[in-house]
Amino acid sequence: MELFTPEFGLIFWMFVAFACLYFILAKWAWPFIIKSIEERAELIDKGVAYAQEAKSQLDNAKAEADKIIAEAHSEQADILREAAKMRNELIEKARGEAADEAKKVSQAAQVSLEQSRKEAEKQLRSEVGELALQIAEKVIRRNIASDDAQRALVDQYLSEVETKN
Amino acid sequence: MKSKIITAVVALVIVVLMGMGYQSAARHHGHEPEGEVDVKELIFDHLGDAYGWEVPFNHSVRIPLPIIVWGQDGLHCFMSNRITGGETYDGFKISTSEKYHGKVVQVLADGSEYRPWDFSITKNVAGIAIAALLVILMIIALKRWYARNGLKAPRGFKGALEFIIGFVYTDTIRPILGKHAPKYAPYLMTAFFFILTMNLLGLIVIFPGGANLTGNIAVTMVLALLTFLITNLSGTREYWKEIFWPDVPLMLKFPAPIMPLVELLGIFTKPMALMIRLFANMMSGHMVVIVLVSLIFVFTSQFSVGVGAGTSLISVAFTLFMLLLDTLISFIQAYVFTLLSAIFISMALVEPHAHEAK
């Protein structure tokens, strides 16, 4: 059977062809192709791992952000409460101080008023006394008998005094 | 719509080709008076090797190929078209005798035939060269893609190549050979793509295909021999110890070395199985296709052209199915050869600790 008897020439050429093919591909192609394919597989694996990590990180970040927001909210409330308290205190204090100041001012005013009133009284008194003395002096100086005349005189002097003032 | 037009065009081409085939066959028929079709001759003609390469629709014109022979008086080189017509050239002719049928022989002075050392570029050798060239073109093209585009994934044909490489290397060779994979991958990958290309080229019926390459035992023999050499040359101490002093009861290996003999036989049966499997699968596929096509001519010569035409419908349908099946087998057999070679090599790389762990 011709089919089952290997032909020497064909074996020879097949071997030569395979050897050439092997050396060309093993030298210039296979190592490079295998390296490229493995590198890309690695890159894809890394990419997937990275994406998963990124996703979990993103989820974590979301939770963290929520936490931070909640904290910020409570802090904000605290601060607002504190501020309100402080404001009330400030107002109270300011009010107290204002009241004290007002009291002092009014006291001082009263004192000065009293003083000026006393002074005015004193002055008035001395002026009235002087006036009275002047009037009396004039009355005596004129020596007038009639009452009417005397009275008219008094009136005249009094009105003189008034216009003077 | 577009696919319908394509189908119509393809059908028209097939019908025209079939018509030409009938015409040619009829003319051929007219030249030769005998009506009987020698199917056996036909089959072995197609499966075997040849000097020169047939062209379609013609039996006498062949693409000439160089004949290189080392006869009794030294080297002779000439083109095959000088002798394929039955002539004798320079003392050489194609033998018609029983012993050297279809081979180049030197006619000696006493009229006897001498078979010289035959290094001719026959149809199969040319087919092997074409297949090797195609593999180089494909793989170098892929390599250049990677060199140019870095880690970008290729598209189209190169993408398909990469998918196959991924299937063979990443999913088969690497899991089997582990850390040894990069060392043996070039051989295994080269073998895979070479076998695949030869298988597929064999299915194309006209030049540059049509040579029954992997269905030829010499081709598969070389491939199996290479796997045999690589396996046994990279065998570890543990591998040889398991062959000559396996871990079996003493009476099985001494005084009569039964198990060592069985193991030793195993070294040779493994590559033999590789050789026969690929050869038988591819050859039988080709044979079935040829027989199915021959049926048309057998029925035509036995009955009438009408019966033959009727048979052709069925035959062509079956042939189409067989060719599709052969395409699948082409892939499977190339893969199986690579897979088994990888397994044999990995078995030769066995380490002692793996053995003790059992």
- For residue range B280-311, list pLDDT tens digits in order: 999 999 899 888 888 888 888 888 778 888 88
Same domain, B266 and B141: yes
Domain shared by B149 and B280, yes or no: yes
Q: Which residues of A touch B96 (CB under 8 A)?
A: none
Q: What is the rounded CA–CA span in Å between residue A11 and residue B253?
A: 38
pLDDT of amino acid B201: 92
Report ipTM for this prediction: 0.85
**Torsion sign, CA atoms B46, B52, B55, B57:** negative
Cα torsion B175, B179, B182, B183: sign:
negative
Confidence of residue B357 (pLDDT cuts 50, 70, 90): very low
Of B143, B216, B217, the CB nearest to A28: B143
Each residue's pLDDT tens digit, A31-84: 998 888 888 888 999 999 999 999 999 999 999 999 999 999 999 999 999 999
The answer to the question of residue A35 being in a domain is yes
Contact B51, B65 (CB under 8 A): yes
**Between chains, do B169 and A34 touch, taking CB under 8 Å as contact?**
yes
Q: Which residues pair with B54 in a beta bridge?
A: B62
**C-beta atoms of B194 and A21 within 8 A:** yes
Arithmetic mean of pLDDT, A5-14: 89
Helix and strand element counts for chain B (H, E):
11, 8
Taking Cα atoms as reference points, which of B42, B46, B43, B39 lies closest to residue B212?
Answer: B46
> From the list B139, B186, B218, which residue is nearest A10 (CB)?
B218
Asked, for residue A25, whether it belongs to a domain, the answer is no
Which residue among B87, B118, B149 closes a domain? B118
Within a domain: A48: yes
- Side by side, the strands of the sheet bearing B66-71 are B74-79, B66-71, B117-118
Residues in chain A: 165
Whether residues B304 and B165 fall in one domain: yes
Answer yes or no: do B89 and B198 share one domain.
no
Number of structural domains (chain A) is 1
Which residues form the domain of B24?
1-33
Question: Would the CB atoms of A22 and B118 count as touching at under 8 Å?
Answer: no
- How near does any CA of chain A get to the CA of B57, in Å? 25
- pLDDT value of position A41: 86
pLDDT tens for B218-274 read: 999 999 999 999 999 998 888 888 888 887 787 777 787 888 888 899 999 999 999
Helices A8-28 and B217-233, axial angle in degrees (round to 10) = 50
Both B106 and B157 in a single domain?
Answer: no
Taking the complete model, does pTM exceed 0.95, yes or no?
Answer: no
The verdict on B114 and B229 lying in the same domain is: no
Q: How many residues does chain B have?
A: 358
A105 at the B interface (CB within 8 A)?
A: no
In a domain, B45, yes or no: no
The answer to whether B216 and A10 are in contact (CB under 8 A) is yes
DSSP tally for chain A: helices H, then strands E: 3, 0
DSSP string across A87-144? HHHHHHHHHHHHHHHHHHHHHHHHHHHHHHHHHHHHHHHHHHHHHHHHHHHHHHHH--
Query: Distance between CA atoms of B222 and B187, rounded to whole angstroms?
Result: 13
For B95, the token pair is 């033998």
Residue burial A124-163, b: 16+ Cβ < 10 Å; e: rest: eeeeeeebeeebeeeeeeeeeeeeeeeeebeeeeeeeeee
Say whether both B213 and B308 belong to one domain: yes
Inter-chain CB proximity B135 and A9 less than 8 Å = no
Domain assignment of residue A111, yes or no: yes
Kindly state whether residue A68 falls inside one of the protein's structural domains.
yes
| Residue B358: pLDDT band with limits 50, 70, 90 | very low
Grade residue B328 by pLDDT with cuts at 50, 70 and 90. Answer: very high
- Domain of A99 in residue numbering reads as 30-164
Q: Are residues B158 and B78 in the same domain?
A: no
Report if residue B56 sits inside a domain: no
